[in-house]
Amino acid sequence: MQAIIDWINNNQGMLIEYSIKVIIAIIIMVVASIASRVLTGVMRKGMTKREVDGAVIGFLSAIIKSLIFIAALMVALNQVGVETTSFIAILGAAGLAIGLALQGSLSNIASGVLLIMFRPMRAGEYVECGGTAGTVEEINIFQTILKTPDRKVVYVPNSQVIGSAIVNYNREDIRRIDLVIGVSYSANLQHTKKVLMEELEKDERILEDPAPVVTVTALNSSSVDFNVRPWTKTEDHWPTRWDLLERIKDRLDEEGIGIPFPQMDVHMHKNQ
């Protein structure tokens, strides 16, 4: 016991100096903890106002807190005299190894963050992306979940979504219906155009502005093709399209306007 007291008396200066360094290191960690809470709080408020997904907010908050903690820990250890160069090298090598091993997952995470922040599509919208078409059910950190019209659930990796064109069918309030109607060469084109336009005018779902268009678009080998292009509200697009096709077929039959179809003539030769 006396030996310990003598050692303390002989090394008071060193102990005081080391204690000050430890106190400074603790203060650094406390300040870093407060700074990380303040920074993540500001970030959460800003991202919440932009309606960013909660999973992304939590993920980014965790990353920021981890980076601040690691940086503060390195400074604190250096303050008390611990050599941090080797630690930094080890962390760098470990980070590189983990990044290479998980590059696919990390790519999906980064893509998920971009999708949710920039919002090229939202839940409930019908889109084409990553080679798949369907209604967006959910966008999470790793994948985008789509439900196809025949009720299949497709999980598309976020990196594949970001790496392809995204076609959003619901972002605009109105949408054009594109139909190609072929009639025979014997049909009167002006009369046919009038008949097609009358069928469009009968449907209340078809908008007056933009005005529908009916025009000859091609003279094919067996038919004269009309482009029929009316506009509807986005939610009325498919029902209106299906009804138009049915009504146009019936009306052309009533008017005696022929609709060409592929035919094959078979010639039989009798051997004598």
pLDDT digit string (tens) for 149-164? 999 999 999 999 998 8
Taking a C-beta distance cutoff of 8 angstroms, is the pair 214, 193 a contact?
Answer: yes
Q: Are the CB atoms for 126 and 169 separated by under 8 Å?
A: yes
Condensed to tens digits (0 to 9), the pLDDT of residues 102-138 reads 556 778 878 888 887 788 888 889 999 988 999 998 8
Q: Where are the domains of the chain?
A: 7-101, 119-168, 174-254
Tell me the mean pLDDT in the region 200-217.
Answer: 94
Question: Which H/E stretch holds residue 225?
Answer: strand 224-229
Calculate mean pLDDT across residues 246-265: 86
pLDDT(146) > 70: yes
Inter-residue contact 128 to 112 (CB < 8 Å): no
Which tens digit of pLDDT belongs to each residue from 181-201? 999 999 999 999 999 999 999
For residue range 20-44, list pLDDT tens digits in order: 788 888 888 888 889 888 888 888 8
Give bridge partners of residue 232 from the DSSP assignment: 175, 206
Q: How far apart are CA 167 and CA 3, in angstroms?
A: 80
Instruction: Count CB-CB contacts under 10 A for residue 124.
Output: 9
Dihedral (C-alpha) 191, 192, 198, 203: value to the nearest 10 degrees?
180
**Confidence tier at 54 by pLDDT (50, 70, 90):** low
Q: What CA–CA distance (Å, rounded) separates 197 from 215? A: 10
Class of domain 7-101: mainly alpha
Is 135 within 8 Å of 152 (Cβ atoms)?
no
Q: How many angstroms separate the most distant Cα atoms in the chain? A: 135
For domain 119-168, give the CATH number. 2.30.30.60
Answer whether residue 16 shows pLDDT above 90.
no
Nearest residue to 249 (alpha-carbon basis) of 188, 196, 191:
196
Cα 239 off chain centre by: 27
pLDDT over 60 (residue 272): no
Residue 64's pLDDT is 82
Question: Under DSSP, is residue 184 helix (H, G, I), strand (E, B) or coil?
Answer: coil
The CATH class of 174-254 is alpha beta
**55, 220, 238 from 196: Cα distances, Å:** 51, 19, 18
Token couple for 4: 């310990």
Q: β-strands 213-219, 132-139: how paired?
A: unpaired
